[in-house]
Structure 1
Amino acid sequence: MDRIGVRNEALKHSSSPPPLAPPVTCSTSCTETVNGCHEFKISGYSLAKGMGIGKYVASDSFVVGGYTWAIYFYPDGKSVEDHAGYVSVFIALASEGTDVRALFELTLLDQSERQRHKVHSHFLRMLDGGPYTLKYRGSMWGYKRFYKRSLLEGSDYLKDDCLIIKCRVGVVKTNTEGPKTYNIAEPPSNIGQHFGKLLESGKLTDVSFKVDEEVFAAHKVVLAARSPVFKAQLFGPLKDKNTDFIIVEDIEAPAFKVLLHFIYWDSLPDLQELVGLLNSSWASTVMAQHLLAAADRYALERLKLMCEAKLCENVAINNVATTLALAEQHQCEQLRAVCLKFIAVPENLRAVIETEGFNYLRESCPSVITELLRYVASSGDHSFVTSGYGKGNFLDGTDGNGRRVKARLY
């Protein structure tokens, strides 16, 4: 019985859970430099020379990493042993501080077009011995023999009796961070929604635009903040006489409505949904074309790039010619390249020439036709240019004698 009791007791102890491991904590030490630069211009070098050994010209003080610094230039050298013919340059700690660790760089600027600057850098050698430590106020880092005086006075570093010395200071800072005791998710910005709701509400508007037969109300300050063209039109010295009611020409009402939507919401609506389901792909491409022209007119670069990207995605036989003309007129280089590459494919070229858009392209941008010929020729397939199209007819619609001919396919 005793043995069983002991065994049960042992089993009782063996089945108890193991002791909990001690909690693990963590922290991170981050050591980095706080950098700053100062440019010291020494005008009248010849007058400073001869002031005496150990005497210096000081720059104005500047602050880097919470400490004040200054550049000391010794035209006759800092000490007697270096008076043999060198100028001395030092960076000095000009504020209170003990054991300030920092990296330094001194650059004598070449004032010629060659820009061959003389650089003494502690940054490039920091792995050799680590940062330099300045013990107290007045401690300095620099070079007693910074540059030989005779060479300096005959070099491009000295121009119009002027020297320029640039210094860089990197103060070493160490920060230890413990684990975060919070987890707050930062919500995305919704400023566009606020401005969009303002446009939809129609409240506080102070300008109206008449486009075709539709009138759109808006807010001058919002338009001016988003578009430099609207800013000049509404507030500039050459602003419209009537800045409360403006008639807009050469833009269709649906495109202007989308333009306002972008200005307020900073995004585009679904163009296919906007134009309806019937032939929506073609209609949304036409909308993107009109919108790109409007974006260029009002200097909305982001909107212009968004339209350019959408048009690149939707290049097709029935729209590539008008899209290429648009790219040429509004300096959309990537869209232009995509269109040229698409048209240069022989089977595409035959079909594109038969579209009404190609006639528009030929009349509005004749230089593009010449470039298209070069592009097709450089692609390595010359059969279409030489014989496949009208047996000697050219893409500009003329034959070899310059007579106008009707485009035909064979």
Structure 2
Amino acid sequence: MATVDFIKDPEAPNPTRSISKTAPIEGSHTLEIQGFSFTKGMGIGEYISSDTFLVGGYLWQIQFYPDGKYLRRDKYVSLCITLASKKYEEDARVWYEYVLLDEIGNKWHRSNGLFRMVPEDKRCMVGPHTLHDGNRTIFYEDFYERTELESSRFVKDDCLTIQCTLGVVKTSMDAPKMVVQTSDLRQSYEQLLESRDGSDVSFEVEGETFYAHKLILSTRSPVFKAQFFGLLKEENTCHIKIEEMQAPVFKALLNFIYCDVIPDLDSKCLDIILTQHLLAAADRYGIEKLRSLCVARLCENITIDTVASSLALAEQHGCIQLRSTCLEFIGLPENLEAVMQTDGFKNLKESCHAIIYDLLKSVARVRIYSSVSYGQGDAN
């Protein structure tokens, strides 16, 4: 056999490689059905639909049939995953998992007619199913017998929670990619604040000194801008004493100005108290984004012990959304008596007389709504 020596083409590229990856792109959506008992009697084939959610480039919906989809199986509730995207390039290959959440958040999966608890690190995915224009649904006709579901551990406070996890399979080819470093701007500003490099102003708060930079403060706060560079700027702007503010609150304020984040604390009660003070500081220095973030956090974490102080704060700083949320919370029959026993409510009565009238109206609205709702239920 003759030996042939090959000469490398100088214009040919170096040996190359391509990689084909086939893996599911996973995502999940939770459908919470409040007032579950009132869904009974909607009718066969009638369903409650979740919002659309995106997984693997496709839009999906969960559909819950409280009286079943077909007459022959009307004693069962039914579930359906629907491909909601109107246009897509190729058929969708899907693995899926339905779970019900019990009263403490454990996940339960149905297998062979029985529900079994799913360990935290496990999946019970079923598939693959190929969906296309002719078949856009994955249907579970006899998901759970209605009467058994009504008395099961999965209905708490008349609420049923269903979680659906999808794994959409796509095949992709790896191409050479340039690694682009993520932005470290926030870290740089955080280091600048901590290092004090180039600082040209200091603040004294409760005996503690904080160093900062006038230009950065001015770009974030119209109050600081007027104080340092306005027509009526103060004479001594190198050392400023801050009154009526706690040192941890001012530290959090500076942290937001430099890093655009507010702190997350381990203690929820402490977190709420700091957020209340931080809202007042944001209003004082005209930092609207921080003000909005504080309002949102307070609205999401209202408690019996803090609602009165949050309401007083909303009244003082003109926070309409927080004020409305607090009034609705206090107006609920299960909350009203407990709130009235708190020191915060006693202080509220003394300092904000006008708010009591609005609170009475809120209580009245809740009671009228409750009586109407119960009346409708009796009529049915």
TM-score (ref. length: structure 2): 0.49
Higher relative CO (Cα under 8 Å, sequence separation at least 6) belongs to 2
Structure number with bigger Rg: 1
